Amino acid sequence: MPALFLPTARPPISPSATPWPTPLVEQLTEGVTTVAAAGDFVYLAGGVQLVVVDAQDPGRPKPRGSVRWTWPDSVVAWHAEVSGNIVYVMGSDRMIGEKSTGDGTYLVTVDVTSPDKPRWLGTLAIHEMSFSMAVADGWIYVAGFERYAISEPADAGLVVVDARRPEAMVRHGFVPVAMVPLAVRLQGTRGVVAGVTEVYDHGPLTSALDLADRSQPRVGPPVPMELDQRPWYMAMRGGSALVTGGRLKAAAVEIGSPSLLASSTTASLLADYCTIGGLAASEGAYFVRTRQCHQDRVLAFDGAIETSDTRGIPAQFPILGSIPTESDEPWLTTTMATVPGRLYLIGCDAWGKVSTLTIMDISRPEAMRVIGRLD
């Protein structure tokens, strides 16, 4: 689960030997903390660098080009998305505190029209702190909040950024939400934002979003979720969302139409898995990364809930498939991205010094398999 404050330095951890397939690949040149994907290309961001990886042959993924940008040393690349030929990278300043006056979030745009020569286009600093963003049609929606002291409605909400000219992004507006937003996802003209009642409180909440007007998103009323952790992870599929924290429970969120009233149903992902470290969606399933006793697994769910019965068995999300990942891989931060039939999974430590890219075939969620790896 992401930490609100991350240490600034720690000796690198050497990756251990792996029993997995070891295709002939080039070494990644810098720690990676987030991933985005489109078509046969994967975009790995970390530090102040974006690496373009050609995964047309997933058994032999090949770094093609890279580009660097500038932002403060304390900023961590936290989230990346790709839309068309533009990759959007969001960095969060891990040293921002309640009394800080610096900027909490940085947005970077990179043109990846040429995989061998990606170009840094622009950077925009945002005052608010953030851990999540969503991109649609040249607009960026940043789930931002005012450091760690939320006292006014305008202290937390969606920062709307006009990035239709990616080389000249501008802050367009701010839409308050009745929570401290930690995650935001979009699908078409609908979306979901999830957060907590206060910065130091769990109190998970969710609201539906209407983005028919990209420049003026509408936010529905907050709905409680019965999660056991802050809602760090969220993915959307088929107009609904799956939201979870770092533990056992997840909430299925449905958006009312034409109203913006969301409904939330909570169930257990799996009783004997201890922590959750990543969530992604494809057309066929949701994919969740879990860990128990130093053993990592990726589980596939279709999002349907088996309700509790007369035997007292609690409601659960039935598992479609399961596959182990490396048991000793660094795992304090993780992120996942999907394209049809594939899942790209980043494993890294909290300092971005050790990272791996794992490529999985998810065309059959009940029979997932590892088909490539890049260290």
Asked whether residue 38 is domain-assigned, the answer is yes
pLDDT band at 74 (very low <50, low <70, confident <90, very high): confident
Q: Give the model confidence (pLDDT) of 128-170 as tens digits.
A: 889 899 999 999 999 988 765 555 656 899 999 999 999 999 9
Q: Are 98 and 131 in contact (CB under 8 A)?
A: no
Q: Give the model confidence (pLDDT) of 217-242 as tens digits.
A: 999 999 999 887 889 899 999 888 99
pLDDT of residue 330: 46
Asked whether residue 3 is domain-assigned, the answer is no
Domain residue limits at 106: 23-176
Stretch among 99-108, 190-199, 234-243 having the lowest mean pLDDT: 99-108
For the beta sheet containing 41-46, the strands, ordered from the edge strand earlier in sequence to the opposite edge, are 34-38, 41-46, 49-54, 62-68
User: Of 236, 160, 153, 150, which is closest to residue 192 (Cα–Cα)?
Assistant: 236
Q: Which residues pair with 346 in a beta bridge?
A: 335, 357
Asked whether residue 94 is domain-assigned, the answer is yes
Q: Give the model confidence (pLDDT) of 262-298 as tens digits.
A: 788 888 766 555 677 789 999 889 998 887 766 788 9
Return the CATH number at 95. 2.130.10.10
The pTM of the full predicted model, rounded to 2 decimals, is 0.87
Asked whether residue 370 is domain-assigned, the answer is no
pLDDT of residue 201: 66
Decide: residue 95, CB within 10 A, 0-12 exposed, 13-18 middle, 19+ buried. middle
For the beta sheet containing 249-255, the strands, ordered from the edge strand earlier in sequence to the opposite edge, are 233-237, 240-244, 249-255, 262-268
Average pLDDT, integer, range 326-350: 73
Asked whether residue 291 is domain-assigned, the answer is no
Asked whether residue 248 is domain-assigned, the answer is no
Distances (CA, A) of 180 to 51, 147, 175, 204: 32, 10, 12, 9
Asked whether residue 139 is domain-assigned, the answer is yes
Stretch among 203-207, 243-247, 269-273 having the lowest mean pLDDT: 269-273
What are 21-24's contacts with CB under 8 Å, separation 24+? 21/59, 21/370, 21/371, 21/372, 21/373, 22/373, 23/59, 23/60, 23/61, 23/372, 23/373, 24/60
What are 119-128's contacts with CB under 8 Å, separation 24+? 119/67, 120/67, 120/68, 120/69, 121/86, 121/166, 121/167, 122/166, 122/167, 122/168, 122/169, 123/69, 123/70, 123/71, 124/161, 124/169, 124/170, 124/171, 126/159, 126/161, 126/171, 127/103, 128/104, 128/159
Asked whether residue 131 is domain-assigned, the answer is yes
Q: How many domains does the chain have?
A: 1
- pLDDT above 50 (res 301): yes
Average pLDDT, integer, range 12-19: 36
- pLDDT above 80 (res 368): yes
